[in-house]
Structure 1
Amino acid sequence: MKKMKFTWILFVSATFLILQSCATEEFESEVLEKDLEIEDTDDKRPEVSRSNSNLIIEWSDMLLELDRQATGMRPNATARALAYIHLATYETVVVNMNGYTSNSARLDGLTINRAPRNIDPLIALNACYARVLDHFIYNVPENSSRAIRGLEVRKERELSSRLSRRLVQDSKRWGQYIASTIIDYSKTDIAAEEQILAPQPTSYEPPVGAGFWTYSAAQERALFPYWSEVRTFVISPEETTSVPPVDQYSAAPESGYYQQMLEVYDVSTKAAAENNDDLWIAEFWSDDVEGLMMSPPGRQISIASQIIDEYNLDLQESLVLLLKLGFSLNDAAVSTWDDKYKYMVMRPNVYIQEYINADYQTNLFKFIYWPNPSFPGYPSGHSSFASAAAGLFIDLVGDATDFTDNSHKGTTEFLGTPRQFASFSEMAEENAFSRIPLGVHIRMDCTEGLRLGYEISNAVNALNLSDNNSL
């Protein structure tokens, strides 16, 4: 009898606890639903504020550290990754941005569901950044995913204060959904997906001809020789102007070609001997060395992040700038590599060693055991990336500036002391022609790369993000 009474008491107690728990959960659910219903009755979505660009800067810092450590991506796969990363971040928040629309109707094959009304843009953006960085920046140290997750958790904790659990979870799911959608969209570009797995394909053999570029034993194979087939976002290689080299290959000392090679030899050897400003410029803009420096396209993200901070750009302005910058860098890589493997212009050190000084080495050689990047010289990729970015900066804030590039501030492994510029066009020009004292490009490579990059940035500047028929 006592046992039955005790069992009954336990049953009653357990039933009470279950009912109490259910009541509590129902109450919490009602509170969350009430909060959401209140937000749903407001036709105006929460707008982004000026202070919120700090989240972008923090994630950009993470991106640049991953970019520095990544192997086998630069520069082409990196430029492509930056386009998709910033397409995803833009699409995550565009529903909260005044006057801007999704790219889903601009980009063939991209479909995005309608966003729920109750989304906190910063929580969603934070979740999106974590997902796309973990996917698109590959060949990084094993602890990179943990670092990404650590930043995501820390920022979520900061941003979710005083927000309902339901709102936080819905916002995270939206950011993750957009990230997954953009990742899936990127995989439909089969040409790129195949090439990032085999950036130096054995199927490619460079054509043979007088003055033609070819790879050395140290370089193994040509890098990204089929990159012209990769998806573009605004302007394709067929739509850009392809300008043949102004000087054709010649071994004659009086020829323009020889004189361009001689300039590289004179400037680069003097820079090394005197440790002068030209060497500072060469190393400051190099960005060739994996594990030590960020990539050339990544460098433009570093500059953009500094512009966001210096010019106090709000979240909306920042997302638009980075979207356009990603598009511009991607399209610059595709058109530049199309021309590189069309014109097959050789690198200076090969010519100089044959006709000027057999013992010549570039100023890059002390950092990398092979003397040149593993692809033809004309046009210069650094130069096209420089102007593909500078054209956007100029369109946004004007050319005149008092800008100091702190991308390598504090470094001791190379000459990375910050440099100051009075205009963004001056900065782009210095970046472009820094390849001469480094010893890896002749002048016409840099001139054409600079021209091509501005052609691409002009097309991107004309992109009307408020009109789905803008392309």
Structure 2
Amino acid sequence: MKNNSYIYILLISSIFSFTIISCKKEEQKIVVTPESYHGLVDKLTQIMIHDVFSPPVASRIYVYPNIAAYEALNGNSKEYKSLSNQLNKLKITKPSNEEDVNHQLSSLIAYLDVAKELIFSKEKLLQYRDSLYNQWEKRNPAVFNNSKTYGLHYSKQIIDWMNKDNYAQTRTMPEHNVFSDDPAQWKPTPPSYMDAIEPHWNKIRTFTLDSASQFKPIPPPKFSLEKDSPFYKELIEVYNTHKEISKKGDSSEEIAIARFWDCNPYVSVTKGHFMFASKKITPGAHWIGICKIACLKSKFDFEKTVYAYTKTSISIADAFISCWDEKYRSNLVRPETLINNYIDEDWEPILQTPPFPEYTSGHSVVSGAASETLTSIFGDNFYFNDTTEIPYGLPAREFKSFRKAAQEAAMSRLYGGIHYISAINLGLTQGHAVFNNHQEKINYTY
């Protein structure tokens, strides 16, 4: 009987020990995958669309959370270098304790913590964050809390650095002056005649550029309405291109291209006496979406995924600063204004003209920088199916390379009737220069 009791006690003890070990094993499983990171980026994009951020501001919202995630992930990496003392004015200190830290989890936490500081609809992101926090904490409270402390150590430093980039100061600077009789100067365009956005974006601290004007493009063709002048020839090219496209009908390839790359968050839709905005992604968001597509196709692991997003978002952010510097220097009038005033008062572009000066083309600069960045990561001749615009009612388009996509994005501005050809071609060149500088200055790997 004593032997039976002894065996019974051993059996209960074994079951109890196995249960504890099983629980401990279960607690350790905080699963972080590349899809986890894509989910954060997608959520931030959705909130940005809801909040209707301008293209330059959207680029800022993407870049800082990615840098925070990159630093939290790679603070002690043997493969990826910290961006501390590489990006302008960025200095990062490492935490003293890394015990029981899941660095991938810390990366997600750092991303969320910085992102919440950049948007209007904070509650949407906080609800999303808290639901993730609850899941992670239930799985392993100790690892979650250690990883959270570790991630916040990096995000707090990135937020401090971010808050010194002059963005807050530009919020109180004067609006762009449009009171000029000079026909060459930019004027607000139909249908909403919005003020020019972000006239002081060149004062935002750059990431890799020495200054906003480092890659100042050559001036656009000298303004002239003489029919044999280079400028007028570019103007009439916009008008004639529109006429040829219109003859083909609404299903033409050029119209499909124009609409696919529209990426204008300020499109105004009029119904009766009401006018409202049609919410869309920005040019930067489109290329961030392409980055996701390439990561998934290449089956990038978590570390490579964070690296790809970070490098791409830095190029996009610098591209906007470089482009906006030129826009408000040249302050060039849009084709729509001149065509309505001097050629055809009833003419309307296929795309709605965005509210800022013409030269250079923002989408061209950003596409040039982003496409070269993605090529440096994934290689040339990278075939992909661009599904980025499907959520906004447009079919996917196929591309043989990122550079081919950038060329199409740039030409979409001519097809859409919103840019002259110089702004398109020189915009791509400007974007390439921004990337080349980035590539030369920043070392991501050992």
Displacement after TM superposition at 1:289 (Å): 2.8
Distance across 2 between alignment mates of 1:454 and 1:84: 22
Displacement after TM superposition at 1:449 (Å): 0.9
Asked whether 1:419 is paired with 2:400, we answer: no
1:175-208 deviation per Cα after TM superposition (whole angstroms, max 9, x unaligned) = 2232222112111122x2222x358x33745766
Could you tell me whether the CA contact under 8 Å between 1:96 and 1:121 is conserved in 2? no
Q: SS of the residue aligned with 1:232?
A: coil
Distance across 2 between alignment mates of 1:56 and 1:95: 18
Distance across 1 between alignment mates of 2:357 and 2:233: 19
Asked whether 1:100 is paired with 2:73, we answer: no
Candidates 195, 200, 204, aligned match of 1:230: 204
Question: Amino acid of the residue matched to residue 236 of structure 2?
Answer: L
Could you tell me whether the CA contact under 8 Å between 2:65 and 2:112 is conserved in 1? no
Partner of 1:25: none
Question: Amino acid of the residue matched to residue 366 of structure 2?
Answer: F
Could you tell me whether the CA contact under 8 Å between 1:204 and 1:225 is conserved in 2? no
Question: Amino acid of the residue matched to residue 385 of structure 1?
Answer: V
Asked whether 1:133 is paired with 2:133, we answer: no
Partner of 1:268: 242
Farther off after superposition, 88-97 or 428-437: 88-97
Candidates 143, 154, 165, aligned match of 1:189: 165
Distance across 1 between alignment mates of 2:329 and 2:212: 11
Asked whether 1:457 is paired with 2:435, we answer: yes
Q: CA separation of 1:121/1:355 partners in 2, compared to 1, >3 Å: closer, same or farther?
A: same
Displacement after TM superposition at 1:306 (Å): 0.8
Partner of 1:243: 218
Question: Amino acid of the residue matched to residue 219 of structure 1?
Answer: Y
Q: SS of the residue aligned with 1:401?
A: coil
Candidates 286, 302, 307, aligned match of 1:299: 286
Partner of 1:80: 60
Distance across 1 between alignment mates of 2:343 and 2:131: 53
1:376-402 deviation per Cα after TM superposition (whole angstroms, max 9, x unaligned) = 111000111101100011112222022
Candidates 55, 74, 88, aligned match of 2:36: 55
Q: CA separation of 1:178/1:208 partners in 2, compared to 1, >3 Å: closer, same or farther?
A: farther
Number of aligned residues: 403
Distance across 2 between alignment mates of 1:417 and 1:63: 23
Partner of 1:444: 422
Q: SS of the residue aligned with 2:263?
A: coil
Asked whether 1:211 is paired with 2:184, we answer: yes
Question: Amino acid of the residue matched to residue 255 of structure 1?
Answer: S
CA RMSD of aligned residues (A): 2.8
Q: SS of the residue aligned with 1:234?
A: coil
Partner of 1:329: 316
Partner of 1:144: 124
1:36-90 deviation per Cα after TM superposition (whole angstroms, max 9, x unaligned) = xxx9xxxxxxxxx9x832222111211221222222x311111122221211111
1:271-305 deviation per Cα after TM superposition (whole angstroms, max 9, x unaligned) = 35501111111110001035531111111111101
Distance across 2 between alignment mates of 1:443 and 1:156: 52
Asked whether 1:387 is paired with 2:365, we answer: no
Asked whether 1:124 is paired with 2:96, we answer: no
Partner of 2:195: 221
Q: SS of the residue aligned with 2:357?
A: coil
Distance across 2 between alignment mates of 1:272 and 1:194: 45
Distance across 2 between alignment mates of 1:79 and 1:448: 21
Displacement after TM superposition at 1:215 (Å): 2.9
Displacement after TM superposition at 1:364 (Å): 2.5
For structure 1, the residue ranges without an aligned partner over 5 or more in a row are: 1-30, 40-48, 366-371
Could you tell me whether the CA contact under 8 Å between 2:64 and 2:115 is conserved in 1? no
Task: State the TM-score, normalizing by the size of structure 2.
Answer: 0.83
Displacement after TM superposition at 1:405 (Å): 0.5
Displacement after TM superposition at 1:250 (Å): 1.5
Candidates 277, 288, 293, aligned match of 2:253: 277
Q: CA separation of 1:210/1:411 partners in 2, compared to 1, >3 Å: closer, same or farther?
A: closer
Q: CA separation of 1:203/1:350 partners in 2, compared to 1, >3 Å: closer, same or farther?
A: closer
Asked whether 1:355 is paired with 2:342, we answer: yes
1:186-238 deviation per Cα after TM superposition (whole angstroms, max 9, x unaligned) = 11122x2222x358x33745766341213359434221111111100111234
Candidates 202, 212, 223, aligned match of 2:175: 202
Q: CA separation of 1:428/1:183 partners in 2, compared to 1, >3 Å: closer, same or farther?
A: same
Task: State the TM-score, normalizing by the size of structure 1.
Answer: 0.79
1:310-349 residue pairs with structure 2 within 5 A? 310-349=297-336
Question: Amino acid of the residue matched to residue 129 of structure 2?
Answer: R
Q: CA separation of 1:117/1:294 partners in 2, compared to 1, >3 Å: closer, same or farther?
A: same
Q: SS of the residue aligned with 2:400?
A: strand
1:345-380 deviation per Cα after TM superposition (whole angstroms, max 9, x unaligned) = 210101111222110112234xxxxxx222111100
Distance across 2 between alignment mates of 1:60 and 1:466: 21
Partner of 2:382: 401
Distance across 1 between alignment mates of 2:108 and 2:356: 37
